[in-house]
Each structure stands twice: as C-alpha cells, then as structure tokens.
Structure 1
C-alpha cells in the first residue's frame, strides 16, 4: 500500500494570477513541505466558514452533504489527494456505514470542505506531494511571499481598523446584516472584533 502523508490546513489566500480564485495551503503534519492548491471562490468560502465556525442562514452544499450522509449513517473516514495531472489535483473521499465502504471521486476543494465538517483527516500520496510541493513555504499577513513554482501571493488576513470605532451594539447589528447578506468574510472580521471586547 502506498505511503500516505497527513496534511493540515495552514492558510487561504487570494490568487492574484487567477481572478476570483484562492490558493489553499496544506502543510505536511510534522514536516516542512507545503502543498498549494488553487480553488474556486465558493469552495474557499465553504472552507473558511467552517474553520471560522460561522453558521450561514441557509445550509451550503457541503453542509447539505453532511446532513445527507448523517441521515444514512455514513461517516467520512478520510480524504486522499491521489494525483496531480497537468496542474490539476484529484482526490477521493473514503466513506463508510455499518454495511458498506465506498470511495468517491472528488475535487480536492470539495473533499476538504467536507472533511473539515466531519473532522476527518486529509492525506495525500507521495506522488501528489512530490508533483506540487513547495519546501519550507512560509507566509504571513504583512508580506508577499513567492516561490519558483508558484506566483506571488498575498495571504488574506486583512483586518478593518474602522471596526474598532464602532460600539458593541453597532457591531452586533453589522454582524447580523453581513450574515443576512451572506458576506461571511466580513462577518468573520466583525465577530473577531466583538470577541476581543468580550
């Protein structure tokens, strides 16, 4: 059986080379290798929402998948990024119930959005890691980092200094409005400011 490498989510950045896309940075657990994967805006939002524990007014597609799986007593065992061909990653979702084990083809972005909702581990094959890895990739919110393999990116952890000027009541109103408008990135920033004051 091929050796699998366990990964963790390290960050999410806007991708300046492809409008409307993001780069998800996965890191080797107990290692220095990094695996950047370009994903769409919707999948980036789905991953960010679950990481930030923001509950949308209506269930998103990945939440619906979890409810559906739970309804039929399916669990997600793990996610495996299996391969990369011509710059495109491939993944499988390993799931099981009392009677059945199944393996479902998936885009890595969807698989990871589902994995974090189930608390399932994410792995990749050595082949996939060696195809797309970036050694010792580091990032922070204030500097742009680049690598020979990937375009320069700036990681999105922007804060709004103006939020500090609002009262707690006003921030709560703004949070409700942002959630109603499904502006979850803004909602996360407002919620962080509210948490600082509590």
Structure 2
C-alpha cells in the first residue's frame, strides 16, 4: 500500500482533492487531460523516498476536484490561481512544478505570471506550445481544433461527448486514446 495521503481543501473557490507524500522541498505534479492525480502514482513514492514533499492535485474539473459548469472558470487566471492557492494552503512560498500535457500550460503560465512562486519548472511529454496567456486555454484549443482533432475542445461543449461517453464508455475512451 502506498504511503500517500488523500487530502481535500477549499482552494480558489473550488473543492480540490490532492494526494501528498514525503517531506522536504515541495514538488507539485500537474497532470494533463484526460488524467487525474493517479497518472503520477509511480513517481510519487519514488520522489518522496528521494527526499521530496510531493503533492499531486486533481486539476480543476478533473477527478475529485470540483468542476465548475462555466467554461470561463477554466481560464488562465483560474488555473494559475488554483496553484497559487494550493501553495498558500500548503504553507509554502515556492515549489518545483512538474507538468504533463495540459498541466504544462498551467505551470508555464504560473512561471510567467508569478516567477517568485516557482523554484523550477519541468515540462514532460510536449514541447513548449505556442500559447498566448491573454486568452484562455479553452479558446486556444478551439482555434487549433479547426484544423485537427483536439481532445480538450471535443469535451468543452455539453452534448455529443457526454452522450457518447455515457452510452459506451469503453468504446468512447478507446477512440479518444487512439486519436491521442
């Protein structure tokens, strides 16, 4: 059994779930889409054993963290605010931030807007995307989706994705992961 602890807190006006393990300098692991904190389940104990305090939140709208219905609640101000609020809740001034997929955008925006709160940034999987912090990641995904399939944009509107997912979840997720 893993030694991590599941924790819940009210952060940036939403109920956030996160997993924590270890002691030492703080590392916050930010997953992508469609992931949850569990994406890091192999890294958490290894990093904790190496002397780090590891926190892996369910990012806004995913896993056990609250999912506001308004798409505007997922803009840069809110997602970066979640990480600042998490730092404050944990009683820490800075952390090393690790991002995967969509989590990369959030940690890059955090580093751009609040460099004093970032000890280091580690971006995994994707190269640095062209990203305009003046517009929301959802609006940016919608622009890219005009040219090709973007899973984030596919899930943005209520309706078709929800219907397909609820009707045949295994088949639907197989198609999404194949496309990714």
TM-score, normalised on structure 1?
Answer: 0.23
Whose RCO is larger (CA < 8 A, sep 6+)? 1
Q: Larger strand proportion, structure 1 or 2?
A: 1
Q: Larger helix proportion, structure 1 or 2?
A: 2
TM-score, normalised on structure 2?
Answer: 0.25
Task: Select the structure of larger CA radius of gyration.
Answer: 1
